[in-house]
Structure 1
Amino acid sequence: MTAARTGRTPCINPRCRRTFDAAKYGSGEMICGKCFRSLPQPIRDNHRRLWRHLQKWRRAEARTTDEFKRSRVASIVDAYSSQINLHWDQVLRPAIVTPERPVGLDGFLAEVGL
Structure 2
Amino acid sequence: MTGARTPCINPRCRRTFKADGGSDEVVCGKCFRTLAEAVRSEHRRYWREIRKWDRRILRTADNLKVTRMAAIRDRLSWQLALHWDAEIKPRLIAPDKPESLDAFLEEVGL
Normalised by the length of structure 2, the TM-score is 0.86
Residue 63 of structure 1 and its aligned partner are, at CA, apart by 1.4
1:14 alignment counterpart: 11
Please state whether the residue corresponding to 2:99 is helix, strand or coil. Answer: coil
2:54 alignment counterpart: 58
Normalised by the length of structure 1, the TM-score is 0.83
Equivalent residues, number? 109
For 1:59-96, what per-residue CA distance to the aligned partner results, in whole angstroms no more than 9, with x for missing partners?
A: 11111111011011000000000000011111110111
Partner Cα separation in structure 1 for residue 51 and residue 91 of structure 2: 24
Aligned-pair RMSD on alpha carbons?
Answer: 1.9
Letter of the 2:7 partner, please give it: P
Letter of the 1:31 partner, please give it: V
Aligned residues: percent identity? Answer: 53
2:88 alignment counterpart: 92
Residue 112 of structure 1 and its aligned partner are, at CA, apart by 4.8
For 1:30-64, what per-residue CA distance to the aligned partner results, in whole angstroms no more than 9, with x for missing partners?
A: 10000000011111111111111111111111111
Q: Show the 5 A alignment for 1:29-108.
A: 29-104=25-100, 106-108=102-104
Residue 101 of structure 1 and its aligned partner are, at CA, apart by 1.1
Q: Any gaps of 5 or more consecutive residues in structure 2?
A: none
Residue 6 of structure 1 and its aligned partner are, at CA, apart by 3.4
Partner Cα separation in structure 2 for residue 22 and residue 73 of structure 1: 30
Q: Show the 5 A alignment for 1:17-28.
A: 17-23=14-20, 26-28=22-24
